[in-house]
Structure 1
Amino acid sequence: MADPKPLTGEPGGLSTLVRAALPVVPGVNRLPGVRKAPARDFSGLAYSREDVVVERARVDAYAGVCGFPRKDVVPVTYPHLLAFPLHMAIMGDPAFPYPAIGMVHVENTITSHRAIGIGERLDVTTSVGEPRPHARGVLLDFVTSVSADDGTAWESTSTYLRRGRTIDGDPSAGLEVLDPPTGGVQWRLPADLGRTYASVSGDANPIHLYPLTAKALGFERQIAHGMWTLARSVAAIENRLPGAVTVEVAFKKPVFLPGTVSYASRRDDSGWTFAMTSPKDGSPHLLGRTTPA
């Protein structure tokens, strides 16, 4: 894989979103600079951001939307926001063979090695390698490293499914969370949750915003961001997690907005197991677990 490309322009700005959407527009997707390279030629791609300042106003806004308390260190899930512009830059790059529209976030693993303080300056790198086989298409692992002068502070792997033709190999079984907890509390989620989270995260995917924009992409109405469901789930047990922790989740059924979800967590020998489910039939929206890092 080549050295990471530096991210230029405003991170997560409108131009990044437009570049990510153009490859699904008939005719436009054949233009130079938009046309995607053949999947068979893809061996990997990386982007980076240097000297990124952790800003209190943005951290506090994110914490408020996701249910975290205000602190002088960031929530465990917050550094994903620093990496998200890199995800979009990779997906919008003509060398990346798959359009961003239609990529489905199916799993996420976060390892926080230490607390990250407000005001820290960080270097962020995200890379993606060759696709892996899946029963319904291919999987792509977006691997992020957030580092400071003392080394790597935070890492994550965001796994996306691209439905369609698969490749040779044995499909991965994926994350399995055995005997997830049931019952728990119910949370009522407002219709504008997707827009509120988009305003603090920069993730303005149309499927999260309004019924009309979601229907245009095949959903009956807007759905909650998967990373919001992860953040809200971790916020519920945040004060019981160790300083160095790994959080693994599998995203299952979408959460339609407005809506109601059930959340339950259970202390296990090695950490916590948690689940966000439908109060109607118990089907899972998200299953997760934590372990000390």
Structure 2
Amino acid sequence: MITDWHTLNREPSLPGLYARAATRRKITGSTLPCAGLRCWVEVDAKRLAAYRKVCGFTDNGLLPPTYPHILGFALQMQLLTAKDFPFPLLGLIHLSNRIRVLRPMGGVSRARVSVQVQNLQPHAKGATFDLLTSLDDQLGCLWEAESRMLCRGVKLEGEPVEDDCTPTRALSEIERWKAPADIGRQYARVSGDYNPIHLSAASARLFGFPTAIAHGLWNKARTLAALAGHLPIASVEITAQFKKPVRLPSEVTLLASEPGASGDFRLVGAGDLEHMVGHWRPLA
């Protein structure tokens, strides 16, 4: 599919996009738009510092490997609330996330973010698509990611294809941490992601959840912060599958293989409840 790129002069305003998302509750089609959005963005030092604090990253002079998602969030929102996007944003489920850090992300103060959607596929519960995001500087692509999203209720022909990130290496406990009741609100303030299922038990119940749940990308960011000494800083691909949600508040345990060019990890809760599994691999 050839992408029809549109370049914006500034980042979109999130309040208006949330208002648009709140009014769209119906599936309007089964074809993804070919339009993509691009915009140059500034890295705000205070916002970056607040993100590091919420997610547990130390300041090593590099952008955290998950931070470009924050830089691209407003563009993602605009793309997913556009009139030609067929699925309602509220209710989409984040199934997995793959990040590729191509070069060390040090000294990045301004970069171009690009977002698009591709790869509509049947799923046992509906249909999935990939939300693609990339970050470029003056030398080319620094970082890229695929977030696989599920929309329930969509019917497509074909057999579902399931990815598998089941760890194959021996894992040992790395760290335990508590996900406090307000971590969804803390993460929303630094990310812009104010999805009601993460903010409070009352707002989560409106969408069928008994309690608020942690953002999947907070779980991944907190995990990568704990694994900072395990992974390369660049030329690495990091994949995570989101399993059972982390209900708030709760305590989780991170298990991982030995440091190296490749490795596996699991995030589990009480009773070995599996919240997230994943791996890191060197880029080919």
TM-score w.r.t. length of structure 2: 0.92
Q: Look up the equivalent residue of 2:206 and give its one-letter code.
A: A
Deviates most, 219-228 or 239-248: 239-248
Q: Look up the equivalent residue of 1:167 and give its one-letter code.
A: L
One of 123, 138, 145 as aligned partner of 2:127? 138
In structure 1, the residue matched to 2:249 is 258
One of 207, 210, 228 as aligned partner of 1:238? 228
Corresponding pairs, count: 280
Check conservation: 1:2, 1:46, Cα contact below 8 A: yes
In structure 1, the residue matched to 2:188 is 198
Q: Look up the equivalent residue of 1:107 and give its one-letter code.
A: S
CA drift at 1:8: 6.6
In structure 2, the residue matched to 1:17 is 18
Deviates most, 236-245 or 224-233: 236-245
Q: Deviation string for 1:245-273 (max 9, x for gaps)?
A: 11000000110111111111112775121
Q: Look up the equivalent residue of 1:247 and give its one-letter code.
A: I
Query: 1:44 and 1:14 mapped to 2: Cα distance?
Result: 25
Q: Alignment partner of 1:185: what SS?
A: strand
Query: 1:98 and 1:162 mapped to 2: Cα distance?
Result: 7
Check conservation: 1:54, 1:117, Cα contact below 8 A: no
Q: Does 1:275 align with 2:276?
A: no
CA drift at 1:231: 0.3
Q: CA RMSD in A?
A: 2.0
CA drift at 1:87: 1.6
In structure 1, the residue matched to 2:219 is 229
In structure 1, the residue matched to 2:53 is 64
Q: Alignment partner of 2:245: what SS?
A: coil
Query: 1:126 and 1:67 mapped to 2: Cα distance?
Result: 26
One of 209, 220, 230 as aligned partner of 2:210? 220
Check conservation: 1:61, 1:200, Cα contact below 8 A: yes
In structure 2, the residue matched to 1:185 is 175
Q: Deviation string for 1:114-158 (max 9, x for gaps)?
A: 122345221110110251111111111011111111110000001
Counterparts in 2 of 1:80-95, with a 5 A limit?
A: 80-95=69-84
- Runs of at least 5 residues in structure 1 that lack an aligned partner in the other structure: 30-35
Query: 2:187 and 2:84 mapped to 1: Cα distance?
Result: 30
Identity of aligned residues (%): 35
Counterparts in 2 of 1:20-31, with a 5 A limit?
A: 20-24=21-25
TM-score w.r.t. length of structure 1: 0.89
Check conservation: 2:183, 2:214, Cα contact below 8 A: yes
In structure 2, the residue matched to 1:33 is none
In structure 1, the residue matched to 2:110 is 121
In structure 2, the residue matched to 1:151 is 140
Q: Alignment partner of 1:238: what SS?
A: coil
Check conservation: 2:11, 2:74, Cα contact below 8 A: no
Runs of at least 4 residues off by over 4 Å: 7-10
Q: 1:64 to 1:115 in 2, by over 3 A?
A: same
Check conservation: 1:58, 1:200, Cα contact below 8 A: yes
Check conservation: 1:107, 1:175, Cα contact below 8 A: no
CA drift at 1:188: 1.4
CA drift at 1:10: 5.1
Q: Alignment partner of 2:204: what SS?
A: helix
CA drift at 1:281: 1.7
Query: 1:53 and 1:265 mapped to 2: Cα distance?
Result: 34
In structure 1, the residue matched to 2:199 is 209
Query: 1:269 and 1:189 mapped to 2: Cα distance?
Result: 28
